[in-house]
Structure 1
Amino acid sequence: MDVTQWTGRHACWLQNAFEDTQEEYAARLGVSVRSVASWHQSPDMVPKLETRRILNTAYERAGDAVRRRFIHYARAHVENIQAQALRVAIAVVRRGDEVLLVCRQDGEEISWQFPAGIVKPGGSAAKVAVRETLDETGVHCSVREHLGERLHPITRAICSYHLCDWLHGEAINGDQSENAAVAWAPIRELFRYIPTDRIYPPILNALEAVA
């Protein structure tokens, strides 16, 4: 792996790869312990040219095991960024004064939420919202309005929300491997299924307008 741009983050990866304490790492590089601490505090900082040259030399002289560990940390970081960038389409399907929900079951934990599906790179979030709703619940719907996007505070996925109109079809559990149940919930009682503070505000505004 060719390190073309050293940052505090890269420097910390190299420290971890050497399995050094901050004091040991500082001695290895010939820099102050304060410098090493600053890399941990500000991972996006770019060290001075002289320090970057020192890091390059340390990396070039490191053994294969150290380099493999460094590459492992770099790849894990990229995978983490990609996971955070996961895009999900969410369908808020209304039928009169009701909204469609699915009940997810993860072990003993059960949670109600709106139908959703992963959007592949270059894919249409609106189409995924409609398709996943049909696959999961047997309900045909059409997108009326895009309500917006946000980085989900818990899953860290990028969520694209779509207000949808019910066309036809009764709610059935079409994906029993993921869902425990499917239901039409009264909009005015949505809080009984999903805590209000977990719902994207534009969803509440759109449903309140209907209710």
Structure 2
Amino acid sequence: MATFFYARVSTLEQTLDHQADQARLAGFEIDEVIADHGVSGIQHRLLDRPQGKRLFDKLRQGDHLVVRWVDRLGRNYEDVTDVIRHFIRSGVTIHTVINKMTFDGVTNDPVQQAVRDALIGFLAATAQAQAEATKFAQRAGIDAAKGDRRKYPGRKPSFDRQATINVRNLLGKGMGTSLVAKETGLSRQAVLRIRNDPDGVERALQRWGL
């Protein structure tokens, strides 16, 4: 009998060591840590992940599987429930670090089995809902960032078109940027922008209608 800790670690989540330490602090004695790195839980089933597949090969009757939460075991409701029930039928006990949930096939009482399966279904549905909400929020953030560039024209320039003409005329006469700034009442940074980034300045003027 062995206790395995499975983690799915991405660059946006906790490190593997942190997750394993949390499991140990929760009282689990881990014999082996198995982890998938940089694998999307939304896109890949557990069986399709390189290390996730190892769980199906290594877990035997009487073993214990510890995960931070049930969402580590699948990408949606169907995946999570199928995986948990598969392991339970194989005689594996599943534990979660969060809330210390335990799922096993010890009971033969149909009522208790129904309660257990209902709880598994509820948690799996919650995990999928959370994953979809996260994905939606990320997509909305990306769309908002793109949309903002179209809807919000950026920081309003401190100069208008006539000011840019005056700056370019003075620069064309060989006047230095500091003197041009003083002559036009603009900052030296604005004068440098007009001189060095004519295309960007033109786009800003057009966006603001200046």
TM-score range, shorter chain: under 0.3
Higher strand share: 1
TM (normalized to structure 2)?
Answer: 0.25
Larger Rg, first or second structure (1 or 2): 2
